[in-house]
Amino acid sequence: MAGRRRDGGFVTVEAAISLGALMAVVAALLAGLAAVLGHIRCLDAAREAARLTAAGQPGAAEAVVQSIAPRGARLTVTRAGDGITAVVTTDTLAGLHLDASAYAIAEPGAQT
């Protein structure tokens, strides 16, 4: 028994450290995925809001942002001549500031 090393405890420590590092990487990947999906939702909402505002339905634009974008998103619409820019912003995804914008031309005869 004098020649036998006792290193069973090291294996447990190495496994715990490896598992912790793996969980940190998985958490970072999930946070990144959530940010990308949140940005896509903001972009979809901005595009629909710009389209609806250009068609003369600004009230529907606000409603569509609340249904498509992440919770707590805000819509800002600016007009410059016939051009309409819709910007959707949110700060609710894990402290990240996400925004997306879309541009549309007002339809002839639409009340914008």
Measured CA to CA, the distance from residue 26 to residue 48 in angstroms comes to 33
**In whole angstroms, what is the distance from residue 69 CA to residue 65 CA?**
5
pLDDT above 70 for 53: yes
Give tens-digit pLDDT for 59-110.
899 999 999 999 889 999 999 999 999 999 998 766 788 999 999 999 887 7
Give me the long-range contacts of 35-41 (CB less than 8 A, separation at least 24).
35/93, 35/94, 35/96, 35/98, 38/70, 38/90, 38/93, 38/96, 38/98, 39/98, 39/100, 41/68, 41/69, 41/70
Instruction: Place 34 in a pLDDT band, splitting at 50, 70 and 90.
Output: confident
Model pLDDT for residues 9-19, shown as the tens digit of each residue: 677 788 888 99
